[in-house]
Amino acid sequence: MSDDKQRFKKMSLDRDTLSALEAIDFEKPTEVQKKSIKPALKGNDMIVQARTGSGKTHSFLIPIFEDIEGDKGVEAIVLTPTRELAQQVEKEARNIGKHHDINTLAIYGGSSINRQIKQLPKTSFVAGTPGRVMDLMRRGNLKLDKLSFFVLDEADRMLDMGFLEDIQWIMSRTPKEKQIMLYSATMPYKIVKLANEYMNDPVELKLSEDDISAKGVSQHYVSVGRRNKLSALSSLLDNEPGRYLIFSNTRKYTQILADRLRNYGYKAHSLHGDMSQSARTKTMNKFKEGKIDILVSTDVASRGIDVDDITHVVNYDIPKYEKDYVHRIGRTGRLDKKGKAITFVSRDEMEFLERIEEFLESEITKLEIEEEGRVKHRVDYHHHADLFGMVAFEFSLNGGSMTRWDLEKKMKKYGIKPEEATIKDLKEDEGIVEVVESKAERIPRMDFFDSVKLLERDPREK
């Protein structure tokens, strides 16, 4: 049977597993599931490079629940970078585990450790963050001496967040004989080194490039300064309806942006680390259930978002690191659906866009926003100044032609000295004037101009 028609029923899976998959309407495996489940079922260590939203969670959950017995203590552990992802993995595991009569548990900080301690003795599958896992291991409540499966999910993100030593500490306290499965969107050197240190002749599957071309995601940038970012976002929200995940680089501004959007009547909510765990969980559940269609998040908080129908990812703040861009845009265009990624770029941030393009080995196309939204556009002279701080205008003159000297004299009456402006291409009654940014707002008010047009500069222009 062709790959296109392959079904889970053809994989010789346990009846209980098939019942679980049927209950959640899983019939046809994704690419990562087709290629990784079979070798994982044979007990191979696995290194799988696959983008977010590819179905990777079930590609390790299915082999785990095909094998663990449920009566020997903790037999499988999945380490995740964030509590939200631990919750998501445990939720999917629970959906399968209940058909096998196997208990699952998510362990993470910010939730009652006593409740987790109470549940651990009857738990066979654990999804958790490194910090809480280590805490419970030190207390003697989490014993991994019977462990058969060790999974690192979003390994590159865990390394970015400084969890390498924690992972090594946990790994060194597990049985030598176990199956290790490592899943990562990108494959930096430290992950390869980690795999070589602990794995035994792993099967390697590269189902996404390090640049993550993000098939199904159209990528664009918008040339906009800070003064008009809210206006540009408003235009997108009003003219391209959908489900939006908007990224800000700081927890503080995540909240500020969500508040500003609500002030303009948008049903926007924020997600960041300063929120209580209950508030974060409540917000994420609303977003997953479609009760919220605009979510403003930080990179870290977004790791627990597992939503397949996000239509737009907006980088309100351009990410400073290429891998963060990759993780962000991977939140849309999932499971063969179309998505759109839009990055706001000011003239001062062009270097970050160029780094991302170099990493992707492709150019991100410029998006022109034609229609205004409910937040009005304002003139931003700083964004359109050149590297020397000069702003350019096209002009035509009232009452016929003037000499350059005449123009300089008239402009001086408006407080612009000859050394603060340069007149170019003067032909009869029209030309171009470049003026220092601090005086740019005076040009449109000059009554000897018949018309004045700001020459907008793209940040790609040097």
Q: Which fold has domain 3-206?
A: Rossmann fold (3.40.50)
Closest by CA to 64, choosing from 108, 13, 22, 26, is: 13
User: Which segments of the chain have a pLDDT < 70?
Assistant: 1-6, 52-53, 208-215, 277, 301, 303-304, 306, 335-336, 461-462
Give residue 144's pLDDT.
96
Q: Over the stretch 160-189, which tens digit does the pLDDT of each residue have?
A: 788 999 999 999 999 999 999 999 877 777
Give residue 26's pLDDT.
82
Give residue 362's pLDDT.
84
pTM: 0.59
Break the chain into its structural domains and give their ranges.
3-206, 217-366, 390-454
**Within this chain, domains 3-206 and 390-454 share the same CATH topology:** no
Give residue 208's pLDDT.
61
Distance in angstroms (rounded) separating the CA atoms of residues 85 and 299: 13
Give residue 211's pLDDT.
41
The contacts of residue 115 (CB under 8 Å, 6+ apart) are: none
Give the pair of three-digit tokens for residue 148.
């058969």
Q: Over the stretch 245-264, which tens digit does the pLDDT of each residue have?
A: 999 988 889 999 999 999 99
Closest by CA to 31, choosing from 373, 335, 408, is: 335
**The three-state (H, E, C) secondary structure of the chain, written as one string:** CCHHHCCHHHHCCCHHHHHHHHHCCCCCCCHHHHHHHHHHHCCCCEEEECCCCCCHHHHHHHHHHHHCCCCCCCCEEEECCCHHHHHHHHHHHHHHHHHHCCCEEEECCCCCHHHHHHHHHHCCEEEECHHHHHHHHHHCCCCCCCCCEEEECCHHHHHHCCCHHHHHHHHCCCCCCCEEEEEECCCCHHHHHHHHHHCCCCEEEECCCCCCCCCCEEEEEEECCHHHHHHHHHHHHHHCCCCEEEECCCHHHHHHHHHHHHHCCCCEEEECCCCCHHHHHHHHHHHHCCCCCEEEECHHHHCCCCCCCCCEEEECCCCCCHHHHHHHHCCCCCCCCCEEEEEEECHHHHHHHHHHHHHHCCCCEECCCCCCCCCCCCCCCCCCCCCCCEEEEEEEECCCCCCHHHHHHHHHCCCCCHHHEEEEEEECCEEEEEEEHHHHHHHHHCCCEEEEEECCCCCCCC
Domain 217-366: which CATH class? alpha beta
Distance in angstroms (rounded) separating the CA atoms of residues 225 and 440: 16
CB half-sphere exposure, 328, CA atoms < 13 A: 31
Distance in angstroms (rounded) separating the CA atoms of residues 293 and 281: 16
Block residue for tokens 């203590």: 73
Give residue 420's pLDDT.
96
Overall residue count recorded for the chain in this entry: 462
Give residue 335's pLDDT.
62
Per the DSSP assignment, residues forming a β-bridge with 127 are 78, 106
Give residue 370's pLDDT.
83
Q: Which fold has domain 390-454?
A: Alpha-Beta Plaits (3.30.70)
